[in-house]
Structures are given as C-alpha cells and as structure tokens.
Amino acid sequence: MSAEEAVTQAEPSRHAGVLRFYELAKRAEWQVRDLPWGELPPVPEGKGSPERQARRRDVWRSVIMQQLQADILACEMSAQLLNTAPDPEAKLYYTTMVQDESRHTEAWLKLIAQVGGEGERDPHLDRLGHMFLEADTLEEKVFLMQVFFERLIIPRFRLIARSSRGTILEDICNRLAVDDGIHHGAGMAYERVLLEGASQRVKDTLIEAANRMLPEFAAHALWRPKAREMIGHLMEAKDRERLKTELDHGVRLANSLGLDVSEVQLPY
Ligand SMILES: [Fe+2]
Ligand SMILES: [Fe+2]
C-alpha cells in the first residue's frame, strides 16, 4: 500500500479535497531546466536608444524582483504550513507546495541574473510576509496565504504574461499561474476542513486577519519601485480598478467558506 492509499483509507472523505490537490500538484510538476533558456529572450527587448532600452530593462527587472521577493517569502510560509499542519494528508500536500515555491524562486533567480540582478524590495510584501508568519493559528495562515494571496496574485501573472509575449518571463508566469491555482484550491479545501469544528471566536479572528491584510495587499498592488514610477502614474487608475475587482473576489471567497464578511473593510 502506498503512503497515499494509507492516508486515504484511514479517512476517505474528510481530506479527499486536499488529496486531490496533492495528485494535481504532482502531475503539474515541472523543472527549471525545461524553460527555453537561450532560445527566447529573458524579457521583451526594447527598441530605441541604448538609454531607452536600459530603462525598459530596469522596468522588467523590477517586475521580476517583486516576484522573486514574493516567492522567497512563500518558501518560508509553505515550510511553516508543512510544519504546523497536524493532518498527514495536508502535510503530504504541503511537501509539493514547498517544492513549488522553491522552484519558482530558482526560476526567478536565474531570470533576474540575466537582466542585471536584484533590485529594490517592496516593503509591503515584507510586511505581508510577517503578518502571515506571525499569525497565531493555522486557520489564519491558510486563510491569508492560500485563500487570499495565492488567488489575488494570479491575475497579475496573466497581466505580466500578456505584456511579455515570446519571452522566458511569459513562460514562467504561465507556469506560476497554474501552480498558484493549485495552491489556492488546496488552501480552500483545507480551510473548509479546518473550519468544520471551528468556534465563532476562530472565525472572527479570520475576519480580523483579513482586515489587517487587505490594506497592505492594496498598498503592495499599487506600489511602484523607482524604475516603474513613471509608468506607475500612467497606470494607476487601471490598477485601482483591477484591485477593486480582485478584492471583491477575495470577499466572495471568504463568504463561500461560511464566514460572515459583513465586517470586512475594503480599502477603497
Ligand atoms: Fe510561488
Ligand atoms: Fe504559491
């Protein structure tokens, strides 16, 4: 009997959702060496004067830096989930998430080396990371990272992919959108299990956590490093519009977990 069969047979229904995402994650696994290194340009190649090209490269570098920073934090968060989750099925699943986040980091590190190395850190991302790592309960951690963050980040990958056709950056973003879809789905499934017997007090702490996180997420979504300040201004109205749609979606997700979201304060 495989380890998987053992846990499935021990409790067939309660953790079926989480185990399904474990299977999915194993099937979706890829390797950094499979990326088209050397065949495609790392990021879109700029036109015009050398200065203009350098400026454009700096913009892409700052986009990659933000994702690299997010994935390094995600390594720490997923390792914490693996260590904290008491259920063997969830632990099994989290082994795949730790590997995914580590692989994402590997891909970003290689990519950023090709466009001039690391750049400015997004302070809001660091704060989001601390909020997660210092959250008191497993319910809160799964909620903040997998229910919210992993889901809210997916449209961003699609956006970056759309503006970087025919590059390694596009390829990575497409792969990460799939992986983070699995991370989110697994989190929804596990949060449902965790909330089955949860007290009202625990559910209230989730709403409080959402209220702490959402303004920081909004600041992160709208944050622009120096390299992107100019484009940042041009895009701000569109960014705010997009953010509103994403946050509304986050609230619907919380609602679908049976949480009373009437106390959630949206930062717009
Ligand atoms: Fe990731
Ligand atoms: Fe992820």
Residue 223 CA to ligand 2 centre (angstroms) = 20
Q: Is pLDDT at 128 greater than 80 in this prediction?
A: yes
pLDDT of residue 263: 76
Domain count, the chain: 1
Residue 185 CA to ligand 2 centre (angstroms) = 11
Q: What is the pLDDT of residues 25-77, one digit of tens each?
A: 999 999 999 999 999 999 998 788 999 998 889 989 999 999 999 999 999 99
Mean pLDDT of the chain: 90
The sign of the CA dihedral 99, 70, 57, 157 is positive
Where does the pLDDT of residue 3 fall: very low under 50, low under 70, confident under 90, or very high at 90 and above? low
Q: Does the residue 242 lie in any domain?
A: yes
Residue 91 CA to ligand 2 centre (angstroms) = 16
Residue 74 CA to ligand 1 centre (angstroms) = 6
Most distant CA pair in the chain: distance in Å? 65
CATH number for the domain harbouring residue 54: 1.10.620.20
Q: Does the residue 54 lie in any domain?
A: yes
Instruction: Give residue 157's domain range.
Output: 15-263
Determine the average pLDDT of the residues in 129-153: 93
Q: Does the residue 5 lie in any domain?
A: no
Q: Does the residue 1 lie in any domain?
A: no
| Angstrom distance (rounded) from CA 130 to CA 26 | 29
Q: What is the pLDDT of residues 105-124, one digit of tens each?
A: 999 999 999 999 998 899 99
Integer CA distances (angstroms), 177 to 31, 146, 156, 190, in order? 15, 13, 9, 20
Q: Does the residue 82 lie in any domain?
A: yes
Q: Does the residue 213 lie in any domain?
A: yes
pLDDT of residue 7: 56
Q: Does the residue 89 lie in any domain?
A: yes
pLDDT of residue 235: 67
